Amino acid sequence: MGHDIFAFVPARGGSKGLPGKCVRPLNGVPLYLHSVTHAVQAGIGRVVISTDIRAILEADLPQGVTALPRPAEFARDTTPMIDVLLHHLDTHEPADGVMVLLQPTSPLRQAEDIAAGLALFDKGGFDLVMSVREADRGVLKWGLLEGDTFQPLNSPSFTFSNRQALPPIVRPNGAVYVINTGWLRRHRQLHGGRIGCFAMPEARSIDIDTLADFERCAAALSGP
């Protein structure tokens, strides 16, 4: 790893879908700590947790892991992730480098997924690399409703194609983002740059939003 790399784990306390989600034990380990472990296993020597949760701020964390208090104005339900990232960069990261964003809600990712993202980023040419999963290609048949007019999302021909003839589709799964912090600091947004992606299997792509999601992850980690 030839860059100044750190992992960033945003752990907010005010989840509405599943209260206490970030510190809820998943197979005996608080949810946020799974992401910390993945970063350490991937060989990232510095891990930062941004949180408004007192239990995390007071936790005995592994070596190289630091929990920083997040101000209330950056921990609201409506706070965009970009604001959280920029607040950390502007406040705590004077030098440019590489941020590996690992959201606690993706506990089934593995160290190898982080390594895959870093390897693609290291090839050069991308400002941001993110993990994706295969999605239903049938969305290419969809469109926007503008008044009473149908506007295709993509090629008009896709709307009338057989599903099997449509090209493969992927969507972000939220598990891994590798970001050039200099680019992010300059442009103040996550879109608009050169974005690379790498695929993760569906089995590791669950993003926890509800209790049902949490229970699916617990079952997956418990094994057959």
Q: What does the DSSP 8-state code read for residue 115?
A: H
8-state DSSP, 76: S
Structure letter (DSSP) for residue 17: S
Closest by Cα among 134, 131, 104, 142 to 20: 104
Contact of 127 with 178, CB cutoff 8 Å = no
Q: Does 3 score more than 70 pLDDT?
A: no
- How many other C-beta atoms lie within 10 A of the C-beta of residue 133? 20
Side-chain half-sphere exposure of 138, counting CA atoms within 13 A: 1
Mean pLDDT of the chain: 95
What is the percent of the chain where pLDDT is above 90?
93
pLDDT band at 223 (very low <50, low <70, confident <90, very high): confident
Per-residue pLDDT tens over the stretch 137-158:
999 999 999 999 999 999 999 9
Q: What is the CATH number of domain 5-134+170-222?
A: 3.90.550.10
Half-sphere exposure of 154 (CA within 13 A, CB side): 14
- Does residue 60 contact residue 78 with C-beta atoms inside 8 Å? no
194 CB-near residues (< 8 Å, 6+ apart)? 125, 126, 127, 128
pLDDT tens sequence across 73-132: 999 989 999 999 999 999 999 999 999 999 999 999 999 999 999 999 999 999 999 999
Q: Tell me: the pLDDT tens digits for 35-53?
A: 999 999 999 999 999 999 9
Percentage of the chain modeled with pLDDT above 70: 98
Say whether pLDDT at 65 is over 90. Answer: yes
Residue 55: CB atoms within 10 A of its CB come to 15
Please name the helix (run of DSSP H) or strand (run of DSSP E) that holds residue 146, with its range, or none.
Answer: strand 143-146
Mean per-residue pLDDT, 61-72: 96
pLDDT score at 1: 47
For strand 128-135 and strand 195-199, is the pairing parallel, antiparallel, or unpaired?
A: parallel
